[in-house]
Copies of this chain bind each other. A is one copy, B any other.
Amino acid sequence: MNRARTPTSTDIADSTPDQVEAAVAAAHGAASTWAVTPPADRARALTQVADVLDAHGEELIDLAAQESHLPLGRLRGELVRTTFQLRHLGQYVAAGRHLDPIVDHADPDWPMGAPRPDLRRTHLPLGVVLNFAAGNFPFAFSVPGGDTASALAAGCPVVVKIHPGHPRLSVRIGDLMTSALHSTGAPVGVFGTIAGIDAGITALTDPRVRAATFTGSTRGGRALLDIASSRPDPIPFFGELGSVNPVFVTAAADRARGAEIAEQYVASFTLGMGQFCTSPGLLIVPDGSATLAALERATLPDPAPMLTATMRAGFDRAVGEVAALDGVSTLHIVDGDDALTAAVQLHRTTAARVLDDPETLLQECFGPSSVIVTYADAAELTALADALPGQLTATVQGEESDVGDDMHSLTDALARAAGRLLWNQWPTGVSVTDAQHHGGPYPASTAIHTTSVGTKAIARFLRPITYQNFPAGLLPQELRTSARAN
């Protein structure tokens, strides 16, 4: 743990350059030990972290609620998810599932024209990982979140640049994690925190930092990506940036259950004041839609405080651009009554209008706003899908009777744009599983091959290595077997 503290204040001071140096040096010093710590021991350390966070649950949830303004129920659920994730990713590596060993025995008759040597491939951790914590998930995408858990599980030390939206919580969790890891015998320096964007940039340009993660805005993430990419030695930057998460409603689904779709949609886009990267920002319905009629009669929920004044300002700016466009009208708006509380709002426009100005209308407005888009026919529906920038998710509300060629055109177009496609469910809520994929084409992700949620998130922090003709005594354990021959 290396960071500045002013214990009598609630503010956490930005880390000084010396503090950043100390955190990175300590992490680097821990790297080779942590890399060769048996995965089962790394899993035990992650489980210990989870146990300690659970044991301090009520204290942490109170702190999170004070700083983030999120409801207690939501925070309780997020902590359950976070400690599950720590244990689950640990179990995954303890079982050796991250290593994917491949053994090719020597073959003098290999048909490429030269004998095949004995080749054995496994994976090694990358080294120190810098994690830029997110503001909207004080637990699950922050100090003890998925990026931290998957990097530690992979065998990489982690330095977290804490988010200014919940600094005291971050420091408290950092302290608990450091002592929990220490109690399991993990090397000193395997985990640390720093504060302040300058500190983050200093760390991002440090040669000892071998990869970085980020969850947040497209603007902020792109700036950090550019720094990572322009280093003398560019490093992987796993950024999860913007997404509008469109929901496409077929004519049949609209007829069959327009009122139900309207109700579920309002619940989804207003959940947590729309402060989820998977919050749906577009609902695409047929002309003369029953869903739209139901939305016209709907009552939006009362607004609640947003996470920070900065987020509210960013939301107001983005949604203001959308609402001011010709051809966009406001269906509902429920104003807030204080500086943090943004208006919950619903707008409408047409597919033709979106196709005229996709840059404005397909941008993410991070907060409690959504746009209803009416379309004339299947061709317009597919044209909208084709116009989408990279998305984390795209959803279809359809009926079994829709499953045909037109629907294949739509889902093929959505598959080109998005990392996860949903049918008759809602994109908010991202399960931590083996098959999960939370990513997608830019700007959904800066690293299209990778996911930031689920067990495959661990692979971001591993690289392949192949041993040729190596004596068994020098091979990693998982390669000493000759079980898999090709």
Chain A residues close to B by CB (< 8 Å) = 32, 36, 77, 80-81, 84-85, 88, 102-104, 110-114, 116-117, 119-121, 124, 126-127, 225-226, 229-230, 233-236, 389-390, 400, 403, 407-408, 411-412, 415-416, 418-425, 429, 431-437, 439, 441-443, 446, 448-451, 456, 459-460, 462-471, 473-474, 486
List 10 additional contacts besides A88-B112, A407-B474, A435-B486; criterion CB under 8 Å: A32-B416, A102-B435, A104-B434, A119-B435, A120-B435, A233-B441, A420-B466, A423-B468, A437-B465, A450-B464
Among B88, B121, B400, B436, contact of A435 (Cβ-Cβ < 8 Å) = B121
Q: How far is the CA of A390 from the CA of B463 in the complex (A)?
A: 13
Report which residue of A84, A104, A424, A436 has the largest number of chain B beta carbons within 10 angstroms of its beta carbon: A436
Inter-subunit contact A236/B77 (CB<8 Å)? no
By a CB distance below 8 angstroms, the chain B residues around A424 are 469
A477 to chain B, nearest CB (A): 13
Inter-subunit contact B112/A84 (CB<8 Å)? yes
Inter-subunit contact A234/B113 (CB<8 Å)? no
Closest 6 pairs between A and B when the two form their complex, measured CB to CB = A80-B113, A437-B466, A119-B435, A229-B229, A121-B435, A104-B435
By a CB distance below 8 angstroms, the chain B residues around A390 are 233
Q: How far is the CA of A418 from the CA of B465 in the complex (A)?
A: 8
Inter-subunit contact A469/B77 (CB<8 Å)? no
Q: How far is the CA of A225 from the CA of B226 in the complex (A)?
A: 12
Inter-subunit contact A466/B419 (CB<8 Å)? yes
Inter-subunit contact B425/A464 (CB<8 Å)? no
Q: How far is the CA of A111 from the CA of B84 in the complex (A)?
A: 7
* Given A412-B32, A421-B465; A431-B233 close (CB under 8 Å): no
Q: How far is the CA of A441 from the CA of B466 in the complex (A)?
A: 13
Residue of B nearest to A472 (CB): B403
A353 to chain B, nearest CB (A): 22
Among B112, B400, B443, contact of A431 (Cβ-Cβ < 8 Å) = B112
A151 to chain B, nearest CB (A): 14
A-B residue pairs in contact (CB < 8 Å), sample of 6: A102-B434, A104-B435, A110-B431, A112-B432, A408-B474, A439-B463
Among B229, B418, B433, B439, contact of A110 (Cβ-Cβ < 8 Å) = B433
A412 to chain B, nearest CB (A): 7
Among B421, B436, B466, contact of A436 (Cβ-Cβ < 8 Å) = B466
Among B77, B236, B433, B448, contact of A448 (Cβ-Cβ < 8 Å) = B236
Inter-subunit contact B433/A486 (CB<8 Å)? yes
Q: How far is the CA of A260 from the CA of B32 in the complex (A)?
A: 35
Inter-subunit contact B234/A81 (CB<8 Å)? no
By a CB distance below 8 angstroms, the chain B residues around A434 are 102, 104, 121, 486
By a CB distance below 8 angstroms, the chain B residues around A121 are 434-437, 456
Report which residue of A88, A443, A473 has the largest number of chain B beta carbons within 10 angstroms of its beta carbon: A473
By a CB distance below 8 angstroms, the chain B residues around A439 are 463-464
Q: How far is the CA of A320 from the CA of B112 in the complex (A)?
A: 37
Q: How far is the CA of A464 from the CA of B460 in the complex (A)?
A: 13
Inter-subunit contact B420/A468 (CB<8 Å)? yes
Inter-subunit contact B403/A114 (CB<8 Å)? no
By a CB distance below 8 angstroms, the chain B residues around A486 are 433-435
A94 to chain B, nearest CB (A): 15
Inter-subunit contact B113/A84 (CB<8 Å)? yes
A135 to chain B, nearest CB (A): 21
Inter-subunit contact B119/A433 (CB<8 Å)? yes
Inter-subunit contact B466/A126 (CB<8 Å)? no
Inter-subunit contact B236/A229 (CB<8 Å)? no
Inter-subunit contact B113/A81 (CB<8 Å)? yes
A28 to chain B, nearest CB (A): 12
Inter-subunit contact A449/B419 (CB<8 Å)? no
Residue of B nearest to A236 (CB): B448
By a CB distance below 8 angstroms, the chain B residues around A449 are 236, 449, 459-460, 462-464
A276 to chain B, nearest CB (A): 14
